[in-house]
Structure 1
């Protein structure tokens, strides 16, 4: 990777491990930011399926402190995480060899751990977080089979680290699926270099999934969706003063590192031939990218309909090429 030293230095200056470090540590330890009630999946929005019910149940049992904060903050993100995990679980069953999953930024790695436990060896996962508090939650239920955890920021998990660590060496050949969950936006808006760095770990034909908060073309649209999130959803879990406190302490900083879907499309398109949107909730979207149309389509075919009320959905044309989608938006 060209300019690696400059990129690593840029990440080292990122808010996630500097000015926001205290917020993430305290929340991951359960010392602050806890919802007044624990978020739970609205099963009415998901298919009635025994495998999915088992996944939802185990996922709920494995959640740590930060997950409770996170899922109480983004409308129907918990349902989407279970929908996504269900698709990965079914996708892995089509493979001849175990699927390797890298989940960066998913706090205590609940989804990755749940998948490894349920898959009976078909999914081997690695989660990543700078916070030792998240690792403590990850290990709270014992050492999981086929699931590992790297304590450190994503940019410090290099190929050399993977190959030199006996515990992680099995991932040195790369991952079949990588999930970036609201991580890049905590460091910088440099999506091109962030994607380039992490893509070094993706196997040929692998799938890269991005869950991010995006800037809107119209600032007023962005603000209205934020109000809807705060007053229509977050108010179920957090007092209004805590919502305002987080907005001042965290969200303003995060906003400076968000990008538009157009900017994301250009960054993703530098590395991948195919990219589609799979989920939208207010200003949040999930994208899936790959250089293998066959693998991407197989993964997409395992996904049920998004488990979210229509009033939170503003980007309804799912599974359409992101490039085509952005072009259509520019013509409006």
Structure 2
């Protein structure tokens, strides 16, 4: 990767491990940001089969402090995490050899660990976080044989680090799935370089999943969606003064590193032939990208319908617009 030293220095200056370091440490340790009730999946919005019920149950049992804060903060993000995990779990059934998943930014790695446990090792996972507090939650239920954890920021996990660590060497050949969960926006708006760096770990034909908060083209739209999130959902789990405190201490800093959906699709298009939006909740969206259309379509075909009330969904037209964009990129 060209310009690696400059990119690493840029990440080292990122708010995630500087201005916001104390916030993430305290939240991951359960010292602050604890919701007044534990978020729970609204099972009415998801399919009712046994596989998914087992996944939802184990996921709930493995959650740590930060996950509870996170899922109480974003409307129906918990349902979406289970929906994504369900699709990966079903995707793995089509492969004779174990799949590998790298999750950078899912705090204590609940989704990754749940997939490794529930699949009986058919999905091997690696989670990554700069916080030792998250690792403490990860091992609170014992160390699962098929799930690993790297304590450190994503930009310090290189191929050399993977190869030189006895526990992580099995991942040196790359991952079938990579999930970036609201991580890039905590460092910088440099999505092209961030994706390029992490892609060193993606197998040929692998699938890159993104969950991010995006700027709106119209700033007033962004604000209205934030109000809906805060008063229509987040107030179920946090007092109003705590919501305002986080807005001032964290969200204003994070906003500087957010990008628009158009910018994100442009960044993804620099590396992938195919990229589609799979979920939207206010200012948050999930994207799935790959250079293998067959693999991407198989993943998409395993997804249940988005588990979210329609009033939180705004970006319904993006799927067609961006499949057209991907097709145009292939013709260049």
What is the rounded CA distance, in whole Å, between the counterparts of 2:143 and 2:326 in structure 1?
44
Cα drift, residue 16 of structure 1: 0.1
What is the rounded CA distance, in whole Å, between the counterparts of 1:49 and 1:325 in structure 2?
36
Pick closer, same or farther for the CA change 1:110–1:250 going to 2, 3 Å.
Answer: same
Cα drift, residue 35 of structure 1: 0.4
Aligned pairs (5 A) from 1:311-322: 311-317=311-317, 319-320=319-320, 322=322
Matched residue SS, 1:124: strand
Gaps of 5+ in 1: 328-332
Matched residue SS, 2:100: strand
What is the rounded CA distance, in whole Å, between the counterparts of 1:3 and 1:280 in structure 2?
33
Aligned partner of 1:330 in structure 2 is none
Cα drift, residue 96 of structure 1: 1.9
Check the 8 A contact 1:66/1:108 in 2, yes or no.
yes
Aligned pairs (5 A) from 1:255-274: 255-274=255-274
1:122-176 C-alpha deviation (Å, 9 max, x unpaired): 1000000000000000000001120000000000000100001011000000000
What is the rounded CA distance, in whole Å, between the counterparts of 1:325 and 1:242 in structure 2?
41
What is the rounded CA distance, in whole Å, between the counterparts of 1:210 and 1:90 in structure 2?
19
1:246-295 C-alpha deviation (Å, 9 max, x unpaired): 00000000000000011111110010000000000000000000000000
Aligned partner of 2:42 in structure 1 is 42
Check the 8 A contact 2:275/2:326 in 1, yes or no.
no
Aligned pairs (5 A) from 1:1-332: 1-317=1-317, 319-320=319-320, 322=322, 324=324
Check the 8 A contact 1:213/1:284 in 2, yes or no.
yes
* TM-score in terms of structure 2 length: 0.97
- After superposition, the CA RMSD in angstroms is 1.2
What is the rounded CA distance, in whole Å, between the counterparts of 1:321 and 1:292 in structure 2?
19
Number of aligned residue pairs: 327
Gaps of 5+ in 2: 328-332
Matched residue SS, 2:228: helix
What is the rounded CA distance, in whole Å, between the counterparts of 2:253 and 2:190 in structure 1?
15
Matched residue SS, 2:40: coil
What is the rounded CA distance, in whole Å, between the counterparts of 2:7 and 2:14 in structure 1?
11
Cα drift, residue 235 of structure 1: 0.3
* TM-score in terms of structure 1 length: 0.97
What is the rounded CA distance, in whole Å, between the counterparts of 2:318 and 2:112 in structure 1?
24
Matched residue SS, 2:315: coil
What is the rounded CA distance, in whole Å, between the counterparts of 1:124 and 1:26 in structure 2?
29
Cα drift, residue 320 of structure 1: 3.6
